[in-house]
Structure 1
Amino acid sequence: MAPVRIKICGVTTPADARHAAEAGADALGLNFYPKSPRFLTPTAAAAIVRDLPPFTATVGVFVGTPMRQACAVAFQLGLRAVQSYNDHPPSDDPFPFAHVPAFRVADATQLDAVRRFVVAARAAGRAPSAVLIDSFVAGHMGGTGHVAPWHLLAGFDPGVPVILAGGLTPENVADAVAAVRPWAVDVASGVESSPGVKDPDKVARFVRAVRDCH
């Protein structure tokens, strides 16, 4: 099994971002959804990106934002990828940014929707680089602390890499990796002391727990 990549999502300060990178995170999520407690303006995000060590990828998280607008922000900040919450493949090509559509899943029917999304995007020449699978909580777009349905995701292959999110913590992420075998894991609230404030000890323990899986 290849090493599982780690994304620490919803970082809000340069200090939290730098610590997550130094702890071994592969990627950091910068949240541009105004209703999120982890919301960043492009100016605040720029301060974080400027302070990061080399080789740490940054991912912009957008909800309902047209792809062209999301890519403009990504270009402005030098991000590596764009994560979106949209029901349909983008009408604009996200290249050169990696596109990671996110899906909130409660049952097998929603996994079928993920497969259809990937097929349609590939047919349009815009296959996503990966898909992120999160838990479904009505009225919330991620960061809820609710665990995704691991039993449904075991063996799930939409044709692109799977990033597992939803209720992951330093205590349960090893079990999640064993059950789902994702390409990457994504955590926000599970390594926080309060919404948007990362706990350095939890971040370090989360990274170690994932690395110890190998």
Structure 2
Amino acid sequence: MVRVKICGITTPSDATFAAECGADAIGLNFYPKSPRFLTPDGAEDIVRALPPFSTLVGLFVGTPDDEVANTVRGFGLRAVQSYPERPPGRSYFPAAHVPAFRVRDAASLELITRYVRAARTAGVAPAAVLVDAHVEGKLGGTGHVAPWDLLAGFDPGVPVVLAGGLTPDNVADAIRAVRPWAVDVASGVESAPGRKDPARVRAFMQAARAA
């Protein structure tokens, strides 16, 4: 069964609704330039509201490793998602690391494979990799669809999380085409940036589970 992460959650009510709909993971965005950015107080409100057994993933861009590690401990994050240029200088344990990559061509896939190999050699192998659409100057949440035909059958040696332009209408097709370990959605279930639409969240979960 494919796993589902609802990313860019900004309110306790959106977080609890996603969890109650069966989302496997809730994404908290700690990137200040994102419209889904969370302050520490905002993140704390969400963490306190979530039901038991909810899995939290933190998204970081350009954040020093020690600061990421402190946030992991402070909010009980189960995974760290980042857009790295190189493997981290330290482990984020007990959080898993899920580096994210924007894909536009075969060279992008080779970059991912080389990254996984280098991280494994350095003793900080990722638990999975996230693949997203390449949009110049943007890091995720763009609504643009990743190149499914290119990603079909892609095996970097760790599980693949598919993001990029997923919606309730296309997630089943995406799962059938790419066969990812998990899917990740943000803008595709929103009424506005950072505001989740309950009907779209529910429909997305139902479509992903049915696929």
Q: Is the TM-score greater than 0.5? A: yes
In structure 1, the residue corresponding to 2:5 is in which secondary structure? strand
Tell me whether 73-82 or 5-14 shows the greater mean CA deviation.
73-82
2:31 corresponds to which of 15, 30, 33: 33
Equivalent residue letter for 1:64? G
Q: 2:3 — aligned with what?
A: 5
Report matched runs for 1:84-163 at 5 Å.
84-163=82-161
Q: TM-score, length-normalised on structure 1?
A: 0.97
Q: 1:77 — aligned with what?
A: 75
Measure how far apart 1:67 and its partner are: 2.0
Question: Percent of aligned pairs with the same residue?
Answer: 67
Report matched runs for 1:55-74 at 5 Å.
55-74=53-72
Q: CA–CA distance in 1 between the matches of 2:107 and 2:61?
A: 22
In structure 1, the residue corresponding to 2:6 is in which secondary structure? strand
Q: CA–CA distance in 1 between the matches of 2:23 and 2:190?
A: 15
Structure 1 residue ranges (4+ consecutive) displaced by more than 4 angstroms after TM superposition? none
How many residue pairs match? The answer is: 211
Say if 1:42 and 1:77, in contact at 8 Å, map to a contact too. no
Equivalent residue letter for 2:21? A
Say if 2:72 and 2:92, in contact at 8 Å, map to a contact too. no
In structure 2, the residue corresponding to 1:40 is in which secondary structure? coil
Q: CA-to-partner distance for each residue in 1:53-92, whole Å, 9 max, x for gaps? A: 1111000000011222111111111111111111100011
Measure how far apart 1:26 and its partner are: 0.3
Q: CA–CA distance in 1 between the matches of 2:64 and 2:81?
A: 12
Q: CA–CA distance in 2 between the matches of 1:107 and 1:185?
A: 20
Structure 1 unmatched ranges of 5 or more: none
In structure 2, the residue corresponding to 1:76 is in which secondary structure? helix
Structure 2 unmatched ranges of 5 or more: none
Say if 2:17 and 2:198, in contact at 8 Å, map to a contact too. yes
Q: TM-score, length-normalised on structure 2?
A: 0.99
Tell me whether 180-189 or 94-103 shows the greater mean CA deviation.
94-103
Q: CA–CA distance in 1 between the matches of 2:66 and 2:150?
A: 33
The root-mean-square deviation of aligned C-alpha atoms, in Å, is 0.6
Q: CA–CA distance in 2 between the matches of 1:139 and 1:203?
A: 27
Q: 1:182 — aligned with what?
A: 180
